[in-house]
Amino acid sequence: MDAVRQPPTGHGIDLHCHSTASDGRLTPEELVAAAAKEGVRLLALTDHDTMDGLPAAQASAQTCGITLVPGVEISARLNQRTLHIVGLNVNPQTPTLCAGLAELQQQRRQRAQTIAAKLERLGVGDALQRATLLARGGQITRTHFARLLVDAGVCKSLQQTFKRYLGAGKAAYAAAQWVPMAQAIEWIEAAGGIAVLAHPMQYRLSATAHRRMLEGFREAGGRALEVCSGNSQPADVQRCADDARHYGLLGSVGSDFHGPEQYWLRLGGAPPLPDDITPVWSRFSTPRRI
């Protein structure tokens, strides 16, 4: 007997994912359609340092009958470390936020040149042109350099490109200044949004550094923690839920989906928020106009 395809049974919420406006594989339209197919009803597009994908995503969301939350994932720093601050339900027409993102985009262009020059010296030619082509007019990220290294046969996997070339301190690494965490939170607040500390377990901090990060985030006006990410194991969810309770933070849920090559992730596939954590989406005002 043929297996009957079951309808999606997830919670239908995904507040962290990427499109071709940054390092996602799908266009904003394709991403929204894919999310709808997975049963997502509430979706935030959160590209790295850009909101350029939002208008197309919004148009597609209307067609697919799902609610799009305008978002962005800001590259920030705290004590020389890079942290990602997701802004949810931001008003994309806010001048402070737009000007801030423009600065980060400028940093991305400069850093891409430095990375390309380092790769050139390592024997990888035309890296800037190739990364630019892969970025399809969106922000150039390390993911694009990673993809070109795999395409060129220099590395076997994206993981390996970070381990050998693109990770912090490696041969083709170029540091960026990004923006102080507190400033990123201010931009999000100025845009009427909620600042979420993204994938807190991915920073692999010591217990002390982890605690300091959360204290700093809270003090700077951060309001939510991404308790459930696409990569979260049950123990990670528990730890983050404990942190959310302890620091009085709302909880967010997002896959951090970039494309089908992350075969272990699905849109809407992050674990559900534990019952006693207040969902960040309960604080969203009426749907925003994009």
48 binds ligand AMP (CB under 6 A): yes
Q: How far is the CB of 146 from ligand AMP (least distance, A)?
A: 6
Provide, rounded to whole angstroms, the least separation between the CB of residue 48 and ligand AMP. 5
The least CB distance from residue 62 to Mn ion, in Å, is 24
Q: Can you tell me which residue has the tokens 């000007």? A: 99
Window 56-115: residues binding Mn ion (CB under 5 A): 73, 84
Size, binding site for ligand AMP by CB under 6 A: 10
Instruction: Give, as ranges, the residues between 186 and 205 that touch Mn ion (CB under 5 A).
Output: 198
Check residue 226 for interaction with Mn ion (CB under 5 A).
no
Q: Which is nearer to ligand AMP, 215 or 261 (by Cβ)?
A: 261
Query: Is residue 16 within the footprint of ligand AMP (CB under 6 A)?
Result: no
Kindly tell me which residue out of 143, 232, 252, 255 binds ligand AMP, with binding defined by CB under 6 A: 143
Sole window of 29-37, 54-62, 140-148, 210-218 interacting with ligand AMP (rule: CB under 6 A): 140-148
Write the CA distances from 259 to 20, 193, 213, 218, integer angstroms. 10, 26, 29, 31
Are 115 and 166 in contact, with CB atoms under 8 Å apart?
yes
258 near ligand AMP, judged by CB under 6 A: yes
Q: In the complex, what is the shortest distance from the CB of residue 58 to ligand AMP, in angstroms, rounded to a whole number?
A: 23
Q: Is 58 in the site for ligand AMP (CB under 6 A)?
A: no
Total number of residues that touch Mn ion (CB under 5 A): 5
Rounded least distance, CB 278 to ligand AMP, Å: 27
Which CB atom, from 245 or from 271, has the smaller least distance to Mn ion?
271
Taking the complex as a whole, how short is the minimal distance between the CB of residue 212 and Mn ion, in angstroms? 19
Q: Which residues bind ligand AMP (CB under 6 A)?
A: 23, 48, 75, 141-143, 158-159, 162, 258
Q: Which residues bind Mn ion (CB under 5 A)?
A: 23, 73, 84, 198, 256
